[in-house]
Amino acid sequence: MSTDAVVPPPAIWAQRNDVIYLTLNVECPDPTFKFTPDTMYFKGIGLPEKKNHEVTINFYNKINPDKVISKNTSRCIEFVIAKADTKGPYWPKLTVDKNKPHWLKVDFNRWKDEGSDDETNEGDNAMSLEDMLRQANDSKLSFDDLDDDQEDSDDEAMPGLTEDKDENEDKK
């Protein structure tokens, strides 16, 4: 185990009206985390450097600690955290801290603006993190639709190269 100082894990977050998506970008096989209505506590040893990671997040508003879904992948730990007030407005930030923590960034891949058309259409059809991960594991990549007979533009001979070679041989 490393004797380095304890540091917060790099994290990204996004939100919807009813949930917060939080991803801790650390490979941690045996993490400890605990949720209260106001906070999240995380502690773990990150691989491969064996860095000590620890953080307490004081949420901007209340959450429902009983409705937290977590998924520890090989590269990160993902959380879907239910907001206590599911009908309330978007939070202006994740934490109550006056300054933005240096280790926390916005997850633009999951971000939706409050009141966007995509969010209002989700309703009951919105997938949970578990459903999304299950679907991703069930679908396999397929290259069957690629046509080998079709010629790509990069397969064509480059103009002028063969002529230049012949001209150079003639000059010798």
The more confident residue out of 152 and 66 is: 66
Residue 129: is it exposed, middle or buried by C-beta count within 10 angstroms (0-12/13-18/19+)?
middle
Quote the mean pLDDT of the chain: 80
Statement: residue 132 has pLDDT above 70: no
Amino acid in position 110: R
- Return the pLDDT at 71: 95
Whether the predicted pLDDT of 139 surpasses 60: no
129, pLDDT greater than 90: no
Task: Show the DSSP H helices in the chain as ranges.
Answer: 117-122, 129-138, 161-171
**Whole-angstrom distance, CA of residue 128 vs CA of residue 105:** 22
E strand map for the chain = 11-15, 19-24, 32-35, 39-46, 51-58, 63-72, 77-83, 104-106
Q: Where are the domains of the chain?
A: 1-86
Average pLDDT of the residues in 54-80: 95
Residue 81 vs residue 132, higher pLDDT: 81
Task: Report which of residues 18 and 2 the model is more confident about.
Answer: 18
State the alpha helices, DSSP H only, in 6-113: none
Q: Give the per-residue pLDDT at 38.
A: 97
| Options 3.20.20.140, 3.20.20.70, 3.90.850.10, 2.60.40.790; CATH of 1-86 | 2.60.40.790
Q: Is the pLDDT of residue 166 over 90?
A: no
